[in-house]
Amino acid sequence: MLIGKASPEDMNIHPIRYQWAYDLYNQAVRNTWFPHEIALKEDLFDWEKMTDDERHAVEFLISFFNPAELIVNRSIALGIYPYLKSPECHLYLAKQMWEEANHCVAFEYVLETFPIDRDKAFSLHTNIPSMRAKEDYINRYMKRMTEDTLDVATSEGKKDFIRNLVATNIVMEGVWFYSGFMVVLSFRQRNQLRNLGSLINWVLRDESLHLKFGMNLIQNILEENAEILTREFAEEIKNIVVQGVDLEVNYNKDLFPRGILGLNADYVNQYVQYVADRRLEELGIGAHYGAKNPAKWMSGATDVLELVNFFEAQNTSYEVDARATDHARKEEDQ
Amino acid sequence: MELTITKRDGTREPFNADKINRSIERACQGLQDPISMVTQIATETRLTLYDGITTEEMDRATINAAVQNIKEDIEYDKVAVRLLLKTVYRRVIGEYDNDEEVLRKKHRDMFPGWVKKGVEEGLLDARMLGTFDLKALAGALDIARDEIFLYSGLDTLLHRYAIKDKNEEAYETPQYFFMRVAMGLAFNEKDPSLWAKRFYEKMSRHEYISGGSTNIGAGTTRPSLSNCFLMQIEDDMAHIAKSVADVMMLSKASGGIGASVTKLRATGSPLSSNNTPSSGPTPFAKIIDTAIRAIQRGGKKKGALCFYMENWHLDFPEFIDWKHNAGDDYMRMRTADTAVFMTDEFMRRVKEGGIWYMFDPKETPDLVELYGKAFSKRYAEYIEKAERGELRVFKKVPAEEQFRQILVALQTTSHPWLTWKDPINLRALNNNTGTIHMSNLCTEICLPQDRENIAVCNLASLNLAAHVHHKQVDWERLEESIRYAVRQLDDLIDINQLPIAEAEHADKENRAIGLGVMGFADVLEQLGMAYDSPHAWDFADRMFEFVSYVAIDESANLAAERGAYPNFKGSGWSKGMVPIDSIKRLEAERGKELTVDKSHHYKGLHWDELREKVRKGMRNATLMAVAPNANIGLVAGTTPGIDPRFAQVFSRNKISGKYMDLNHNLANDLKNLGIWDKVKDRIIAEQGDITAISEIPPHIRDIYKTSFSTSPYAFIEVAARAQKWIDQALSRNMYLETRDIGETMDIYMSAWEKGVKTTYYLHMKPRHTAEQSTVHVNKAEAMGKRGFAAVMHAAAEMSAETMAPARTNAVAPATAIATTAVASFTGTPDVEIREAAFRTKAAESHPSHTEPQPATRRESRIMPPSDPQADLVCDSCQ
């Protein structure tokens, strides 16, 4: 079982019961990167030339991302990790938590590098109602997990666990973050903020894995606990996602009070709906919005392999894996 | 919402959809199904507009809308090109009221005045005015050739190579650009106008393209036309300091640099002045690494340099880690690249399980100058000395272990690149003046250097794809291109301005040039050959034999006309040798035959006659080098160098922008088969690898492989066949899916055994990439789970259906976007329209466009096929 009270056997990694979690852990380790590998300073030339609306959008996004990464961490540490008994999942989550910390520091690095009013940036997420509403939404689910203690042996406890997971992993990481990435990458598309774009590529690569893990976790828990698999609960989950999307409407208005070349609030809303549909389909709930992807250019940003001119940009597709194996030789050794 | 547009003068006017539609419509003329294209672009443009958008942003938005549809249909590429050209024409030529004839005339008639103005404003060289018959040259301009471009090529040219005005906007049209470069290289010809016209004819048809620095500098007041510099850093403080300054000056002149640090004494080696221990090469290299980072152009293009070290240096283990992404920042090179320079002696020891010794060059100062048997002999003597305790320091390690460490570093950091000292030196015809201590930044140049000489190479690349029409190679035309390119490169040397005396000296004494090729994989596709087939290898052999023969012959002709290069005496050429002859010398010294086919594949070349001609004089110390040419390959719209196609669709992360690269050859083949629309999304979902797409016939899948699905032994074979004929080297990217170090060692060992001189970047196939955005993704489906699906659709679908959740293609709830109207109107699927008012007025006003046009009349067919393949390239080096 994935959730429940840990027993002594759960302290052994072998035999591996949830291979997918172990595989994801290994891939996550290979994806390790550090913010200082990106020469962010070079983007300052672009920053100088950007319009006020463009700068506002970047500031706004970073102000959201920076605390959001820590909120995710809290949610994992207090609301997800303690209720799981699978050691494979614990391995993965330990790495994910480091990644969230790393992302937070990466955004910190952005705030240090760009001439952004840091005090203003740090207070934005509490001062702007639309941003605050998003945080409140997440905290609502998280509190249930952290301030109360769940009994995950009961159906209601299991449902609470799933609710939190959906709010943090599916809505926050899987929808909100994705629309934010699209906006930042659109600058890259217009040949601005190339290095910030590289940094976001890395964050996005990590987040894609987080989402894969979360989706696996939800699917497997549903399979192991058929009693919570009801039409009513499905509708409730759907509502959690839809609520999350609704919160984006006001947020996107504040992100783009007017608009910039290639983007405006409606456009981002449509993208959010498109991504939310995908998440709903993955949950087996089915699309709600029927929205089309307005950002066709994202195919070049994320969908295909990137060939990097090493002289021009940091190659963000490398992986660390010094443990390169030599099968032939290994067999000889044994 | 009422939209207004901010005009250039700051005033506002209401948004006029009709105006935009018309301009898009003009750009779609002559293409298939223009109405649905107009609708699509107009709709998507509208999606991104906002109140107060500027006219320029509006132009940009339209272009972007066209660009993001290229993946749906390559015809959109043409539209994007035309829209972009229009903005350039308007800026450089002025208004032409959309009248093509007016444009053509103005473009021609304004050229002499444009040159004059450029000279007056100090942008163009004064020689551009007095030397030429400007009217005649204006008459030669053919604006129709602008249609040859693919969007990514045109955008790259405008961003990277075009002269800019004060607003950093392109100051020249593409045809002015080609003519400017042609003129800028013909100053010293007896008939400058004739030769400028000839060079223009070649470049404007993309039959060859000059190297990056030449494109930037030719005809301007700053003719720094060389791309590549190779310098040896000497083991004394004054020379190290001078080298830092030299690196800065060369970087400023936009050159890419190879710098050997092998001579620098090892860590702990005593300084002669006071016997304090030296800190070794790393801190000095770090100064240079920081220096090139400081030299930036517009904040984007950093200096570019590759450090070379021979692997017998005591600090070589530290050198291996220079590119590691973690660790002490003072020990890491964040900007510079690294390459290892290996001898046959080392490779033999790897193969035979021998021990490898590392020394302090302070104690073994002659090793750096030696190669072949002479190196082996001296190396053995030093080993004996070391074992007798007569050297201050040394290290030893199993040779195989060091080779493994190199490859582990290569796999994880893409560095150091592997290059081989012995084939470079033993096959050189130009090292009569001294040993070649390194290759260059892009690993295609093999020139000697010493304290008095910073080697310089001047580059251009033939576009093989522009010489293939109707499945036939036009050899005559190719011969003409080779001869003109060699002449143009030779002309360049006398115009070139170099910032350092040592570089000036080497350039004038050797007159070294490097003519390369691009479009090799593109040509194979057009001829229907798989890259990993013996036919392709024989074709490479034939092609390079021909290029080699003609290039050598032309340089010998030029020597007869203009005199031999100053260092000719004593060179391999002066002994009647041509590159292919040097294989025997390499084999004799190595004591082992190269494992490559050594026969001739091009019939009817008179090599013996050529040997006699060469003996009398050569104009240039070197002739051929295949640069990576990722940028000029992009300009020419073809695959770079001899690399296989990276993928059928991929993105290119460039300074000038991020481009989606779609293989037009494949798209055309699939369109002809009538299956393009069926498989296009799948190709993106598969990240450009069509291997598993069963709807595509097997013979097509065999031809169109990706870099990762092509056998790495095939890349090596192509490089080895080409290397037979090329006097310098080939910049050879490697692409591997395997992460097995044993296998990787075998692959690189086989490159050495086949006589390959150098390899370049190693690209590893990523095992995990970000979640895709524009294609169908369902992770649950992929893991065989259906989540809530069972309870959601309980009654309806339980019975027959598969496990896969239904895909929602249908328009869902009413909240969504109103679509439909246009779909029935134009007959195209998938067109969304947000505001009916915006709907294709253009289409209505020109109903004639609905007539289908026969494929043969489509303008997009005139071109040499598309697509570049990118990569890393020494930006300066192409």
pLDDT single digits (tens) B500-529: 999 999 999 999 999 999 999 999 999 999
Closest CA to B125 of B224, B204, B200: B224
Mean pLDDT, residues B242-263: 92
Q: Which residues between 271 and 290 in chain A have a beta carbon less than 8 angstroms from any beta carbon of chain B?
A: 273, 277-278, 281-290
pLDDT of residue B207: 98
How big, in percent rounded to 5, are the helix, strand and coil portions of chain A? 70, 0, 25
Mean pLDDT, residues B588-601: 96
Instruction: Quote the ipTM score.
Output: 0.82
Q: What is the pLDDT of residues B80-111, one digit of tens each?
A: 999 999 999 999 999 998 899 999 999 999 99
Helix A155-165 to helix A231-255 angle (10° resolution) is 30
pLDDT of residue B541: 97
Tell me whether residues B48 and A261 touch, CB distance under 8 A. yes
Mean pLDDT, residues B552-560: 98
The closest CB to that of A287, out of B655, B768, B808, belongs to B808
CA distances from A294 to A207, A264, B683, B833 (A): 21, 11, 20, 12
CA distances from B570 to B577, B584, B625 (A): 11, 19, 22
H or E, element range at B359: strand B355-359
H or E, element range at B305: strand B304-310
pLDDT of residue A315: 64
pLDDT of residue A312: 57
- pLDDT bucket at B802, cuts 50 / 70 / 90: very low
**Mean model confidence pLDDT for chain B:** 88
Helices (H) and strands (E) counted in chain B, each on its own, are 36, 21
pLDDT of residue B301: 64
As given in the structure block, the two tokens for residue B433 are 């003046």
DSSP state of B338: E
- Buried/exposed B192-218: b ≥16 CB within 10 Å, e otherwise: bbebbbbbbbbbbbbbbbbbbbbbbbb
The span from the CA of A145 to the CA of B175, in Å, is 67
pLDDT of residue B869 exceeding 80: no
- pLDDT bucket at B826, cuts 50 / 70 / 90: very low
Q: Which residues between 775 and 794 in chain B have a beta carbon less than 8 angstroms from any beta carbon of chain A?
A: 775, 777-781, 783, 785-794
pLDDT of residue B300: 54
- Buried/exposed B584-606: b ≥16 CB within 10 Å, e otherwise: ebbeebbeeebebbeeebbeeee
- The DSSP annotation for B249-291 comes to HHHHTT-EEEEE-TTSPPTTPBPTTT-PBP--HHHHHHHHHHH
Q: Which domains can be identified in chain A, with CATH numbers?
A: 17-333 (1.10.620.20)
- Chain A hits for B763, CB-CB cut-off 8 Å, are 307
As given in the structure block, the two tokens for residue B91 are 């800026």
Evaluate whether B302 touches B335 at the Cβ level (below 8 Å): yes
Reply yes or no on whether B100 is catalytic. Answer: no
Tell me whether residues B792 and A296 touch, CB distance under 8 A. no
pLDDT of residue B804: 40
Percent of chain B exceeding pLDDT 70 equals: 89
Peptide bond into A15 cis (omega under 30): yes
As given in the structure block, the two tokens for residue B252 are 């400023």
- Chain B hits for A182, CB-CB cut-off 8 Å, are 773
pLDDT of residue B853 exceeding 80: no
pLDDT of residue B686 exceeding 80: yes
B139 — contact with chain A (CB < 8 Å)?
Answer: no
pLDDT of residue B561: 97
pLDDT of residue B309: 98
pLDDT of residue B125 exceeding 90: yes
Tell me whether residues B813 and A45 touch, CB distance under 8 A. no
pLDDT of residue A141: 87
Evaluate whether A85 touches A58 at the Cβ level (below 8 Å): no
Peptide bond into B712 cis (omega under 30): no
Q: What is the pLDDT of residues B746-795, one digit of tens each?
A: 999 999 999 999 999 999 888 888 889 888 889 888 888 889 988 886 64
- Chain A hits for B67, CB-CB cut-off 8 Å, are 297
pLDDT of residue B463: 98
Q: Which residues between 139 and 178 in chain A have a beta carbon less than 8 angstroms from any beta carbon of chain B?
A: 178
As given in the structure block, the two tokens for residue B153 are 């090529």
The closest CB to that of B412, out of A20, A27, A320, belongs to A320
Which is higher by pLDDT, B2 or B306? Answer: B306
pLDDT of residue B315: 97
Which is higher by pLDDT, B815 or A235? Answer: A235
As given in the structure block, the two tokens for residue B222 are 């700053």
Give the three-class secondary structure for A50. Answer: coil
Residues of chain A with pLDDT under 50: 322-334
As given in the structure block, the two tokens for residue B535 are 């036919």
pLDDT of residue B877: 56
Q: Which residues between 186 and 225 in chain A have a beta carbon less than 8 angstroms from any beta carbon of chain B?
A: 188-191, 194, 197, 201, 204-205, 207-209, 211-212, 215-216, 218-220, 222-223
Q: How many CB atoms lie within 10 A of CB B483?
A: 18
**pTM score:** 0.86
